[in-house]
Amino acid sequence: MQVRDHAKTPHMQLLASFLAGAWSNGTGPRGKLVNPTTEEPVAEVSQGGHDLAGAFEHARTVGSSELASLTFAQRGALLGALAKAIHGAREELITLAIANGGNTRSDAKFDIDGGAVTLSHYAELGAKLGNAMLLGDGEPIQVGRTARMGGQHVWARRSGVAVHINAFNFPAWGTCEKLACALLAGMPVITKPATATALVTHRLAQLFEPLLPAGVLQTLIGPAGSLLDHVGPGDVVAFTGGSGTARTLRTHPKIVEHSVRLNIEADSLNAAILGRDLEIASETGALFVADVVRDMTQKSGQKCTAIRRVLVPEDKLKDACDAIRERLGGIAIGDPSREDVRMGPLATAQQRDDVRAGIARLAAVTESVHGGTGDVTPLGVPQGKGFFVGPVVRTTATPMTCAPLNEHEIFGPVTTIAPYSGDTKTAAEFIARGAGCLVSSAYSDDRDWVASFVGAAASWAGRLYLGSSKMAAQSPGPGTVLPSLMHGGPGRAGGGEELGGERGLHLYMQRCALEGDASVLKSLIGG
Amino acid sequence: MQVRDHAKTPHMQLLASFLAGAWSNGTGPRGKLVNPTTEEPVAEVSQGGHDLAGAFEHARTVGSSELASLTFAQRGALLGALAKAIHGAREELITLAIANGGNTRSDAKFDIDGGAVTLSHYAELGAKLGNAMLLGDGEPIQVGRTARMGGQHVWARRSGVAVHINAFNFPAWGTCEKLACALLAGMPVITKPATATALVTHRLAQLFEPLLPAGVLQTLIGPAGSLLDHVGPGDVVAFTGGSGTARTLRTHPKIVEHSVRLNIEADSLNAAILGRDLEIASETGALFVADVVRDMTQKSGQKCTAIRRVLVPEDKLKDACDAIRERLGGIAIGDPSREDVRMGPLATAQQRDDVRAGIARLAAVTESVHGGTGDVTPLGVPQGKGFFVGPVVRTTATPMTCAPLNEHEIFGPVTTIAPYSGDTKTAAEFIARGAGCLVSSAYSDDRDWVASFVGAAASWAGRLYLGSSKMAAQSPGPGTVLPSLMHGGPGRAGGGEELGGERGLHLYMQRCALEGDASVLKSLIGG
């Protein structure tokens, strides 16, 4: 039996951290990473005992000056090498993601390929930026009586350390998307994956280490401990995770004392709105159904961008529920290493418990469309094992005032579908009820409806995905983060901004207004 | 005698607040605003008793929809009307600034004209932006296999309230610079001047009220009280003031809970560096001396952008000190309503005490170049009255390790001048010792020196002013904030960004990535 085999494994792997140029095992008690399908341990991690002060010092001195000596093009070439390393170890990484993340093969590829694609995108951007030292921001400005007295905004590399605290759901992509922007901007990184799913990130750290200059990337595996006690005025902290931790970061004494730049991507109650012009059976209607179902089941709904709240015109509610129910019925849930399984477990026991609590809160005020409260008998899994929750669709007649729907992110395969009048004002108000989200989507082939919707909704989302028949055939869906488009959102979503091409570098740079002789300013940005 | 005359004044003016469409006197005990030259009371202000919840509700409903119905051009026209109102009441405003701010006539004009110029700048920007609803951010992006599947970043008006908390030193300019950006972006404003110097802002509120749509501008005169308890996810708080208050804002429960967007401009230890190529007697050397002396004496050194720390090449130290001393010797200090007086008192007793404490801290580790520790006998002022501190120049041989110099902002007519080797690395490191500043300046006609300096220093300042012979004749000096250039700085300076032309609107807007059919995206930004 599997459990016994694993328990017998004589040498449980201890995941070391890579800090100050060396692999550090840490000291003290050890925690266990488990396979969320079987609950068997897959690796161990120290709870502390690393020299974090030394890691910061290493980054500030060695790492920072290594990057200072490189052009954007050279930094981009490094990112290209990292992407290549991921491609070379793709099968191995997929195996680790299945074992430690509960990912299906498709889920694992989504994470791993997403990381590689993002690195490649920023590698290309680096080549484009070439050997500039300062990035120009906008056009020259006349600030004196004559054109001689000028102004020019620029972006300059910050001289501190970028601290990255990543979420459990994307151990590859999340790590790479933050890393790509920071390294290209010229800041050394100390990255910390979520401990529970750190196996993939640990392997990336091993793969990346020989490819990067000293001090440029350090990886802490295990609890953050006193990590943030070392940050100062020139540093950046970028965090992806839950709102509870986000609150702790915002009020951290060192972050407050030094106005440390803090980027947060937290909870997000992303909505999808079906326009009033569409039949479910239409091409755009089918895109809508496919996107809702994909976001529920891909990574078992553990995506910060997944659709949690759905509005459809009243007269389409039945058709929409039927179509979603039918699709979900065909999805096999169980051991994600099996080829026939389309959805695996949640990543941890804690996630399962949180999702179940969220479903209970929601179930108290909504009705079931599919899946009840998520009970499921997974395929190919030892009896009673694994952190499984089945796909759950709920419905409510009063979506605007349903607090458990609009105020609590359920980070799993759960969505709620509700009727509305079809007008854009209500649609935008529903999005606003989420108090700020990473992405929301609207599906319509009526351009006037779309224009009215965007005008009213855009300030509540970091991204608006506009589904239509024109793009249905090549759409990645709203749940896919793209390196060229900004990722982040206002309010509840944390108020951060990542990616978006060159915009993604700005978190790691300082905008500075240069003021003086216009010809000097021109020469400073290579003019 | 003046004191007695004022004490007899039968009707001391109570400064009302303009909230929810009406003037509100508030209730409870009253505080007094005084003339910092004579310490006589000039007006009273209630300590509370205003309906702040009502003010927020008024802004969110009436104010926000009034602005939503206006184009950028129409909002710009409103700003133009405000600028005109300031011009029309200029003499009256100058009189109030002299009486309540301790301003000389020149100081008062700097504040009041600065406000009007900023409003006019954004009025023109509004006209330029015309009737766009969304502002495009960058070029269209291809995100699918073909050009049909596209992305476009836009800036969208935020639907909440902008809360402005201003500093005592610029009751007109500070108010107008925040107001101009917020109103043009489309957000209603609740503004709160510093109580001690609120006379000018109160008069502006009276002048502006009849010119603006309902709910667009509300003014709270007096303590903030529970103001921030009402902020939510779509709101913005912009603060200018000391680091102590900044800390309180950063950790305010409502700001943390809702990820309220918070812009802070706080302490700043701005530096000025003389390049190694310059003689003090040269044109650029003279510009340097004039800028240092202006920043010490204009507004009695109470400018967030004033030069606090100066480096000159060792062999120029004596010349620089002599030149600065000579200039300062010719500046009369006293009652700022007198034409012969060039520098008035500090604005409040608290400021005088803080500055004196700062000088004492600095004097313990530095030597006097001019003014000792600031004792002065002001011209035309009743014996023992007024919050006066004379100009103080100190020097140290060890500027890099002088903590009272590099870690404490003395918000008055105080600067410290020190020798250095003349190399750009030391110059940039000295700027970095301030841990982030709003502006720093370097004076040199050697382009290579300037390029090397900018590359090393730009990440530690929101603005770098590059003094040279080419622009000396038309330079406003580093201490002048310009509407077209960003104002803000990293680290100790708060990490904020204001002004900078269209950049200044972004604090009040949400960046949103639109994703979909490229032709739809193009039409959404008016393409």
- In this predicted structure, the answer to whether residue B468 has a pLDDT above a threshold of 80 is yes
Q: Which amino acid is at A205?
A: A
Average pLDDT, chain B: 96
B265 a catalytic residue:
yes
**Other Cβ atoms within 10 Å of B226 Cβ, number:** 12
Spatial separation of the C-alpha atoms in residues B122 and B499, rounded to whole Å:
9
Measured in angstroms, the CA of B380 and the nearest CA of chain A are apart by 37
Q: Average pLDDT, stretch A276-289?
A: 97
- In this predicted structure, the answer to whether residue A8 has a pLDDT above a threshold of 70 is no
What's residue A5's pLDDT?
Answer: 43
Q: List the single residue in B148, B471, B513 with the smallest CB-CB distance to A470.
A: B148
Q: Judge: A234–B491 Cβ closer than 8 Å, yes or no.
A: yes
What's residue A2's pLDDT?
Answer: 34
Q: Which domains are seen in chain B, by residue range?
A: 52-266+498-524 (3.40.605.10), 271-484 (3.40.309.10)
**Other Cβ atoms within 10 Å of B185 Cβ, number:** 25
- In this predicted structure, the answer to whether residue B203 has a pLDDT above a threshold of 50 is yes
Q: Does any CB of chain A come closer than 8 Å to the CB of residue B494? A: yes
Listed residue (A311, A324, A308) closest to A358, CA to CA? A308
Best residue of A146, A262, A471 to probe chain B, by most B CBs closer than 10 Å: A471
Q: Judge: A470–B512 Cβ closer than 8 Å, yes or no.
A: no
Q: What is the pTM of this model?
A: 0.96
Q: Average pLDDT, stretch A92-110?
A: 98
What's residue A484's pLDDT?
Answer: 98
Q: Judge: B459–A156 Cβ closer than 8 Å, yes or no.
A: yes
Spatial separation of the C-alpha atoms in residues B328 and B9, rounded to whole Å:
38
What's residue A133's pLDDT?
Answer: 87
Residue B346 is given by DSSP the state -
Q: Does any CB of chain A come closer than 8 Å to the CB of residue B527? A: no
B526 pLDDT band (50/70/90 cuts)? confident
How many degrees, rounded to 5, is the angle at CA A457 between CA A456 and CA A459?
100
Q: Does any CB of chain A come closer than 8 Å to the CB of residue B505? A: no
Spatial separation of the C-alpha atoms in residues B460 and A187, rounded to whole Å:
14
Q: Average pLDDT, stretch A299-317?
A: 98
Q: Average pLDDT, stretch A276-295?
A: 98
- In this predicted structure, the answer to whether residue B11 has a pLDDT above a threshold of 80 is no
Spatial separation of the C-alpha atoms in residues B482 and A277, rounded to whole Å:
50
Q: Judge: B471–A154 Cβ closer than 8 Å, yes or no.
A: no
Partners of residue B45 on adjacent β-strands: B31
Residue B44 is given by DSSP the state E
First vs last C-alpha separation in chain A: 69
**Other Cβ atoms within 10 Å of A363 Cβ, number:** 17
- In this predicted structure, the answer to whether residue A125 has a pLDDT above a threshold of 70 is yes
B515 a catalytic residue:
no
Q: Judge: A515–B478 Cβ closer than 8 Å, yes or no.
A: yes
**Other Cβ atoms within 10 Å of B498 Cβ, number:** 22
Q: Average pLDDT, stretch A73-78?
A: 98
Spatial separation of the C-alpha atoms in residues B367 and A365, rounded to whole Å:
73
- In this predicted structure, the answer to whether residue A32 has a pLDDT above a threshold of 60 is yes
What's residue B10's pLDDT?
Answer: 53
The 3-state DSSP class for residue B201 equals helix
Q: Which residue of B has its CA nearest to A121?
A: B143
- In this predicted structure, the answer to whether residue B465 has a pLDDT above a threshold of 60 is yes
Burial class (CB in 10 A: 0-12, 13-18, 19+), A244: exposed
Q: Does any CB of chain A come closer than 8 Å to the CB of residue B452? A: no
Spatial separation of the C-alpha atoms in residues B507 and B511, rounded to whole Å:
10
Best residue of B65, B121, B450, B454 to probe chain A, by most A CBs closer than 10 Å: B454
- In this predicted structure, the answer to whether residue A501 has a pLDDT above a threshold of 60 is yes
Q: Beta B367-370 vs B392-395: how paired, if at all? A: antiparallel
Best residue of B131, B429, B517, B523 to probe chain A, by most A CBs closer than 10 Å: B517
Q: Does any CB of chain B come closer than 8 Å to the CB of residue A511? A: yes
Q: Average pLDDT, stretch B167-196?
A: 98
